[in-house]
Amino acid sequence: MKKFYLALCAVLAISACASNTPKTEEQTSLRDAYKDVFHIGTALSKSQIMGWDLAAQKVSNKEFSAITAENSMKWEEIHPTEGLFNFTVADKLVELAEQNDQFVIGHTLLWHQQTPNWVFEDKNGNPASKELLLSRLKNHIDTIVGRYKGRIQAWDVVNEALNEDGTMRQSKWYQILGEDYVAKAFEFAHAADPNAELYYNDYNLWMPKKRAGAVKLVQQLQQQGAKITAIGMQAHYSIPSLTTNPDLSEFEASIIAYKNLGIKVMLTEVDITVIRFPGAENQGADISLSYKLQAEFNPYSKGLPDEVSQEFTQLLVDMFKILAKHKESISRVTFWGVNDGQTWRNGWPIKGRTDYPLLFDRKNQAKPAVKALIELSPIFKNS
């Protein structure tokens, strides 16, 4: 009995010590740090949306207040065959967002890439008529936006309609429908859900010529009475030691130009490569580019040096400091993926590379940049 009493006392003593041991304070999440500033978002892959990659999904649930499907709502995925829609992943995305009180962006209703050939062809394989293509576009938008009316809060209506010099891209959409196809897409989206936010989204919008083209496009939409809520500046950038992409003075000039149109401004696809790009410096995000794997373009396959990580962090901090100066017009910052293992940059423009462009590493551990951005958040509230 005495032995039992002594053992019980020892257990109670250990329990008491444990209860008095101070707990390690959990770091504030990104979504909490920017809760009253703007949405901080991420793009989810199919495996993350469906819960097959629960570790990354948990990071998304905790750290981000907005989510976008990385690929699962693009035309080839959600509407692969005429009359056949696949809503499995999109439905799950919306359910996940509702469970975690997250803002949802539908990406994307109209794009020249990842759109099946049948969309642009008649039953004989010839180019579709203007009337046929317009009918298909309306049906696509009516069906998808209508299905998620009131549940998906915003849409990337048109993606990448501009060339680098600011002129209209000569896509099949343009060739068949003419320049007004952009306004038509916005018209259809607004009719399908009058309360949804509607965006134009593109890369390299920090560049002066493309900025001028985007300003012209938005002004035309406004003159035509189209509802456009915001412009999304895709931020597929590089660390400064590799390139001048972006020039931060031009980056800020673009934010000012777009907000002066009376619309909101967003960074929509933030990822910052740390690997040199073969070819031209201002690489943008043209997914048709492809090069063979070479060691000189894959220098960090074993890990990232601290000095490169610091440069990555500093660029994000510098960008966020600019955003703080224009905080009244910034509605969202979305990182294009949860972790480095997911990023499309591992396969573009060279397959097999090891890149590090996101906020969380391949083990879903936060990088120093996460802490830096959290510590920076008070300037948005005090400035």
The confidence score (pLDDT) of residue 17 equals 41
Given the DSSP bridges, would you call strands 39-44 and 66-69 parallel, antiparallel or unpaired? parallel
Q: Domain for residue 19, yes or no?
A: no
Q: Of 70, 187, 197, 269, which one is the catalytic site residue?
A: 269
Q: Domain for residue 38, yes or no?
A: yes
Q: Number of folded domains in the chain?
A: 1
Q: Domain for residue 18, yes or no?
A: no
Nearest residue to 214 via CA among 243, 189, 250, 247: 250
Could you confirm whether 269 is annotated as catalytic?
yes
Q: Tokens in use for 334?
A: 């979305």
Contacts of 218 (CB under 8 A, 6+ apart): 200, 228, 231, 258, 261, 263
Q: Where are the beta strands (DSSP E) in 207-360?
A: 230-234, 236-238, 264-273, 330-335
Q: Of 63, 70, 160, 252, which one is the catalytic site residue?
A: 160
The confidence score (pLDDT) of residue 370 equals 98
The confidence score (pLDDT) of residue 284 equals 54
The confidence score (pLDDT) of residue 291 equals 57
CA atoms of 201 and 178, how far apart (whole Å): 19
The confidence score (pLDDT) of residue 348 equals 77
CA atoms of 169 and 46, how far apart (whole Å): 29
DSSP per residue, 79-122: --BTTB---HHHHHHHHHHHHTT-EEEEEEEEESSS--GGGGB-
Count of other CB atoms within 10 angstroms of residue 100: 15
Q: Tokens in use for 195?
A: 């309360």
Which residue in this structure is represented by tokens 């090891």? 354
Q: Domain for residue 9, yes or no?
A: no
Residue 305: asked if its preceding bond is cis (omega within 30°), the reply is no
* 383 residues of the chain, pLDDT tens digit each: 444 444 434 444 434 444 443 444 568 999 999 999 999 999 999 999 999 999 999 999 999 999 999 999 999 999 999 999 999 999 999 999 999 999 999 999 999 999 999 999 999 999 999 999 999 999 999 999 999 999 999 999 999 999 999 999 999 999 999 999 999 999 999 999 999 999 999 999 999 999 999 999 999 999 999 999 999 999 999 999 998 889 999 999 999 999 999 999 999 999 999 998 776 544 555 545 545 556 778 999 999 999 999 999 999 999 999 999 999 999 999 999 999 999 999 987 788 899 999 999 999 999 999 999 999 999 998 86
CATH number at residue 141: 3.20.20.80
Nearest residue to 140 via CA among 78, 88, 195, 98: 78
Q: Tokens in use for 369?
A: 């940049």
> 323 lies in which domain range?
28-382
What's the CA angle centered on 139, arms 138 and 142, to 5 degrees? 80
Q: Tokens in use for 335?
A: 């990182």
Q: Domain for residue 136, yes or no?
A: yes
Q: Domain for residue 357, yes or no?
A: yes
CB 154 within 8 A of CB 106: yes
Contacts of 64 (CB under 8 A, 6+ apart): 30, 31, 40, 41, 42, 102, 335
For 170, list phi and psi in degrees, rounded to 5: -85, 60
Q: Domain for residue 22, yes or no?
A: no
Residue 334: asked if its preceding bond is cis (omega within 30°), the reply is no
Q: Domain for residue 5, yes or no?
A: no
Count of other CB atoms within 10 angstroms of residue 325: 15
